[in-house]
A and B are shown apart, each in its own frame.
Chain A
Amino acid sequence: MDDAAEPILGDQNGAAGSDQPSPVLRTKHALPTRLWHWLTAISVIVLFMSGLNIFNAHPMLYWGSYGANADPHWLKLSQFPAWATIPGYYSLADARLWHFFFAIILAFGLLAFLLVSIVNRHIQRDLHIGRREWARDNIRRDIVSHAKFEFVGETTQKGYNWLQKITYIAAIFILIPGMIVTGIAMSPAMDANWTWLLELLGGRQSARSIHFIFAWSLFAFFLLHIILVLLTRPLAQMRGMITGGRKPVETD
């Protein structure tokens, strides 16, 4: 927090006769946000682990429209270990059952969350990056304070900082939609109906490669997200995402 030293709103109007200021509070995480957060958390875990099982059926990646064993590949791995996959043994058929069920939850969950978050102004209020935040000084200060781990032990009092916003925007507007779009693009039936999909992505094997890269990017986000929660009062953060929590109302 670059502005943690600033007085919290409510201070000026502080209740008479009280030494402690009593800030005006609002719910930190709205109910739809919390529901979506946990549904998406489960979905992403299951999709990632069942996806590794599916990948094990042909652990090679290519660019372009076609790609099979004899064709030039850009990545060839041995199979992911059983402990990292759902189910916990190789089964392409069962992994696909898990994958497509949770893919629907992820896709329609994201759609509902985005619609609700426009209506309840979560996106405009909490994720939108204002012009002042794009100031080079603000960004530099934010990066420096993160690099010094200055956020350790702190909770978010007055909304997200620039790095947080950029990261959440990347996850919500690029990585998760990207997983969904590249997933749809691997469906031969959808390809016949939405021919523009693979033209956009550069062919089915490119879509598969991007799906893989985005999955691991999302995994990196997942790790970062959990590490940062653990560093910043994890119990309060968890409670906040379950019960809603309280945070001060912002002045502007």
Chain B
Amino acid sequence: MSDTPISRRALLGSTAAIGSGLLLSGCDRLNGSETFRGILQTGGDVNFAVHRALGSHSALAREFPISARSPFFRGNGTQNPTAAPYPAALAENFANWTLEARGLVDRPGRWTLDALRAMPQRTQTTRHDCVEGWSAIGTWTGVPLRLLLDQVGVQKAARYVVFRCADVMGGGIPYYESIDLIDARHPQTIIAHKLNDQPLPVRNGAPLRLRVETQLGYKHAKYLQAIELVASLEDIGQGKGGYWEDVASYAWYAGI
């Protein structure tokens, strides 16, 4: 720690701090210290390391019977994108919507929705866990992401898949997220176009969204326009791999 008074307070706080006022002002000062935030972040790093080291890379999230579905699958974050070209695309029922593959791939290109629907499909009834705490169960249908990756040929240097979205967030930044190739090739990781046997509702990401069932909801990018293979997340946004990661310090690994 670079800041001596703060670190001393952290140590003393261990025995003395029962008074909430002192504790809180101390905690808020620590919370503002980049060094201390780095220390706190090791907690998340340990979780990621333990999950990757001890967990199976292809362990399946539980799949439920259709009878276990939530009566209503709520939306969160953007629920109705207003920036071009989304409203126009919605008006024509996404007839000309495409998903682009770019970055470190051998054969960059675009899929139409019909092309995606013509590929092998996977349907799974899974539980969606929001970082806020709520859960919803729904049935998703879509193309396994690994089939798309195989079709375009992932280059050796690639380590992450970045998802580019049509919903524009605060500061005029379109939403983006990323996962590593281990999660990208997980059997339940799909580009979904249906929820509960119907085309995706707008609030849930129409016409295409990611499902990555072993992570929290903010990783499941909606309104997908492109997947981009990259070697590093450094040049994506501010370098932490996702919109919420960059603007609000949410963890990139959201398996917990």
Contacts and interface: CB of A to CB of B under 8 A. Distances in A.
Nearest to A84: B20
A100 B256 contact: yes
Given A57-B132, A58-B132, A193-B55, A188 B24 contact: no
A217 interface: no
Q: How big is chain B's contact interface, by range?
A: 35 or more
B56 interface: yes
Contact of A55 (B13, B61, B133, B255): B133
Interface string B28-56: 10010000010111111011000100111
B134 A68 contact: yes
Interface string A194-206: 0100100000110
B44 A204 contact: no
B135 A67 contact: yes
A170 interface: no
B134 A101 contact: no
A92 B131 contact: yes
Nearest to B135: A66
Interface string A59-87: 01000011111110000000000011011
Contacts of A96: 44, 131, 250-251
A104 B256 CA distance: 13
Interface in B65-85: 68, 70-72, 74
B131 A190 contact: no
Given A86-B24, A104-B46, A97 B249 contact: yes
Interface in B1-29: 13-15, 17-18, 20-21, 23-25, 27-28
Contact of A198 (B62, B68, B74, B249): B62
A204 B127 contact: yes
A186 B254 CA distance: 11
Nearest to A89: B28
Given A97-B41, A189-B51, 11 more contacts: A42-B13, A55-B133, A71-B70, A83-B24, A93-B249, A97-B43, A188-B213, A188-B214, A192-B55, A192-B56, A242-B15
Interface of B: 13-15, 17-18, 20-21, 23-25, 27-28, 31, 37, 39-44, 46-47, 51, 54-56, 59-62, 64, 68, 70-72, 74, 127, 129-137, 213-216, 244, 248-251, 255-256
Q: Which 10 A-B residue pairs are closest in the complex by CB-CB distance?
A: A189-B255, A101-B43, A58-B133, A57-B132, A100-B43, A187-B256, A68-B134, A58-B132, A192-B59, A97-B40
